[in-house]
Amino acid sequence: MATAILFKNADLYAPEHKGIKQILTVNDKIIAVEDEISADLPGLEVIDLNGAIVTPGLIDQHIHVTGGGGEGGPLTRAPELNFSELVEGGITSFVGVSGTDSETRPIEALMAKVRALTKEGATGWMWTSNYRYPPTTVTGDVRKDLLTIPECLGVKIAMGDHRCSFPTTQEVLRVLSDCRVGGMICGHDSYLHVHLGDLPIAFPAFMECVKMGMPIKHIRPTHVGRHPEVFAQAIAFTKAGGYIDITTSGGNYMGSAADAFVMALEEGAPIDRITFSSDGHGSMPRFDKNGEMIGLTVCKVSDNLKMLQELAGKIGLEKALLPLTRTIATALCLGNKGVIEAGKDADLLVMDKDLKPLHLFMKGRQVMKDSEVIVKGAFEE
């Protein structure tokens, strides 16, 4: 039997502010969004939200679901993500990613973890490979990974970081070509997701690839706020039509991710070309001048919510939602995500006026109720 829910008195941010609305969901889809909905469905559940804020579930395109770290040896391998962390963070969709450690964190494990989290209730995708060039893949070939792994949105490499393989411009162009052609064969766009370090060498290479004819839409740099020169290049990249991704869990030289977002807007970056991601369960190692690791912290997916709250205080909730909802869904061609409208997936985040999560629905299934996680992962107590 179908599961139908009618939400009444929802202060809807779709992410545009629509005011008080009613929302009807059936199973995993939004059926209607109207001022008044008359529904006579077997087993219909009616939830009166009493003016609480309803937004699309958040999307995070960069989570180390199998754990990052390892730069200080086996003891520094970060733990895997638990399903309940997604729930607590208001995240309904995610993209899993691998990092520095390509030996003990194989891509096959990443694929399996993405599928497990999806089975538990979220919607998951993945970037194949990690920091290395040539890319580390499941099938041995980027295009075959794109063809045979439905969750695969593209490839990750690292540039401008002392832990990367320092690919040349020609090598970057080669993997971009694999992304583009592989996506063509699969029938959808594919992207090169690039971890950026502090060396300002990546964006000149990107723009050289664009000059050679590679569409800029396939190039997706992340961690753009960690160095002033890199950030300035990132802003210029948005003005040329590219997307940039700011990390919410620390590491931005100007302060927080919210500060970086506002700075980018002030410098003329289009608001619809900036996304957020947490780098959740990735490590933030600190190195001394000799390149020796002297400290390590682990990024949290919950920092997305903190940055949403902070950014909403600066530019308003409607605009603050964009980098975690509509913009990232548009950037990755996730057509059923990032907005609340009829026909889209029933991923709904309900918050109070202070933007504290109250309820969360993943594809129509309630996983948080009254700020408590009510659905946990397979091995969580």
Reported as a single tens digit per residue, the pLDDT across 261-302 is 999 999 999 999 999 999 999 987 777 788 777 777 899 999
Is the pLDDT score of 358 beyond 90? yes
48 and 85 share one domain? no
Is the pLDDT score of 237 beyond 80? yes
34 and 119 share one domain? no
Distance CA 299, CA 224 (A): 16
Q: How many structural domains comprise the chain?
A: 2
Question: Is residue 271 situated within a structural domain?
Answer: yes
- Cis omega (within 30 of 0) for bond into 15: yes
Average predicted confidence (pLDDT) for the chain = 96
Summarize the confidence of residues 69-83 as an average pLDDT: 91
Is the pLDDT score of 51 beyond 90? yes
159 and 14 share one domain? no
Domain extent for 152: 58-331
124 and 219 share one domain? yes
- Phi-psi region at 281: left, alpha or beta (left = phi > 0; alpha = psi -120 to 50): left
Annotated binding site for Zn(2+): 62, 64, 156, 195, 223, 279
Long-range contacts from 17-21, C-beta under 8 angstroms, 24+ separation: 17/317, 17/318, 20/51
Q: What is the CA radius of gyration of the chain?
A: 20
Flag the least confident range among 67-76, 247-256, 364-373: 67-76
Beta bridge partners of 220: 193
CB 339 within 8 A of CB 48: no
* DSSP annotation string for 3-14: -EEEEEEEEEES
Question: Is residue 381 situated within a structural domain?
Answer: no
Annotated binding site: 62, 64, 69-71, 100, 131, 156, 163, 195, 223, 226, 279, 283
Is the pLDDT score of 247 beyond 90? yes
CB 321 within 8 A of CB 55: yes
Is the pLDDT score of 135 beyond 60? yes
Is the pLDDT score of 19 beyond 70? yes
Only one residue has tokens 């199973």, namely 27
Flag the least confident range among 100-104, 147-151, 326-330, 353-357: 100-104
| Eight-class DSSP state of 83 | H
Question: Is residue 109 situated within a structural domain?
Answer: yes
Beta bridge partners of 275: 245
Please give the share of the chain, as a percent, with pLDDT higher than 70.
100
Listed in order, strand segments (DSSP E) in the chain are 4-13, 17-26, 29-34, 45-48, 53-56, 58-63, 91-96, 123-128, 152-159, 191-196, 219-222, 244-247, 274-277, 283-287, 293-298, 348-351, 357-362, 365-369, 372-373
Question: Is residue 378 situated within a structural domain?
Answer: no
43 and 112 share one domain? no
* Other Cβ atoms closer than 10 A to 286: 10
Please give the share of the chain, as a percent, with pLDDT higher than 90.
92
Is the pLDDT score of 157 beyond 80? yes
- Please indicate whether residue 101 is annotated as part of the active site: no
Beta bridge partners of 350: 54, 359
Question: Is residue 274 situated within a structural domain?
Answer: yes
Is the pLDDT score of 50 beyond 90? yes
Write the CB contacts of 211 (distance below 8 Å, at least 6 apart in sequence): none
Query: Pairing mode, if any, of strands 348-351 and 53-56?
Result: antiparallel
33 and 108 share one domain? no
Question: Is residue 379 situated within a structural domain?
Answer: no
- Side-chain-facing half-sphere of 161: CA atoms under 13 Å: 25
122 and 21 share one domain? no
Helix (H, G, I), strand (E, B), or coil: what is residue 246? strand
What pLDDT score does 292 carry? 79
Distance CA 290, CA 304 (A): 33
135 and 147 share one domain? yes
286 and 219 share one domain? yes
CATH number at residue 368: 2.30.40.10
What pLDDT score does 340 carry? 98
What pLDDT score does 294 carry? 79
Active-site position among 60, 259, 279, 303:
279
351 and 318 share one domain? no
Summarize the confidence of residues 205-219 as an average pLDDT: 98
Annotated binding site for substrate: 69-71, 100, 131, 163, 226, 283
42 and 73 share one domain? no
Summarize the confidence of residues 307-324 as an average pLDDT: 98
What pLDDT score does 1 carry? 57
Question: Is residue 275 situated within a structural domain?
Answer: yes
Summarize the confidence of residues 171-176 as an average pLDDT: 98
108 and 84 share one domain? yes
pTM: 0.97
Summarize the confidence of residues 13-37 as an average pLDDT: 98
CATH number at residue 326: 3.20.20.140
Summarize the confidence of residues 326-335 as an average pLDDT: 98
